Structure 1
Amino acid sequence: AVQGVQFCSKLFEYERRSQNKKHAFEQRKAYRLEKEKTILDAFWNWLDEQKPRKGSRFETAVKYAQNRKDTLMTYLEDGHCSLSNNLCENVIRPFTVGRKNWLFSATPKGATASALVYTMVEMAKANELNIYKCLTYLLEHRPSEDMLDEQLEALNPWSKEVQNVCKN
């Protein structure tokens, strides 16, 4: 198991190096394919050689990884993807705390409204927008069912207009 952790540590080390070099997404993809793919290939070979004791936690871990190999390898295909889901977990942590508070919403519609507002706030944060400006912009340009896809797309936090109006 120690060797498995060492493979992971090496991958995270390369990810840190890529971040420190401030690689653009395409550069990160190329860097991963050059540096990390060989480590992953060695990891899969090592994993295939393992003969864990039946019923052990190590056997469970080996089977888990082997059954998800294709999924685990997908981060190599896109420099936007992260090696781990730590960022996502950190982002949703406040949401899970908020979810407990929504138990006390007076109606299901009230809980849905709270979740929608929270989603807008987190999307603004993720896109480095001023939250107040972003919420104000969205309220001023209220999305509706009658809007065309292009109009709705223009309200996304990554659209040029929203970025220009709401950037910190």
Structure 2
Amino acid sequence: MNPLKFDGSEGATALLERYQSMESTFLHIECPEDKTTRFASSVFGKRALTWWVQEKSTRGAEVAKALPWEELKGIMNEDFCPPNELMNLEVEFFNLKQVGSDKVTYTARLNELSILVPHLVTPLSRGISKYIQGLPRQIQDSVKAVLPKLFARRLSLLHPCLTTTLRREPSKATRRL
């Protein structure tokens, strides 16, 4: 399984596809967590490769290659998501609502956007609130009434950083509901 190449000029949505491709490859080849950035950087080309050479020069090659995958994605978001596209994604995020009973599409798009605009779902309580606000009004109260732990477990469908945050600080996340 080969991950999609990344040249750094495709925009935010293509960047998200590269992340998904890379994470799928990590799982498939059982890539150790401490090697994910080394492996991910092997598919950089053109502008992305030039950027990576500069990152290694600035940080030191070994430090750059040892960056955790989530941190590398954050740095890449800053450098490869044009500000106007990022602003459009933020607007889409704020306006995102579930249409009808299609919770799968709503949850999937919220997940995608949370990867590209993680500051809008951090801390976890903010992500949970956004999820609930996007649900149809008639079910928001029902969802809020569900035990917070049960609801938080269901959020594992959302962005992995939300799940990671939940594991680190469950009491803070659930208290704010």
Give TM-score, length-normalised by structure 1. 0.29
| Larger RCO: 1 or 2 (CA < 8 Å, sep 6+) | 2
Q: Calculate the TM-score normalised by the size of structure 2.
A: 0.28
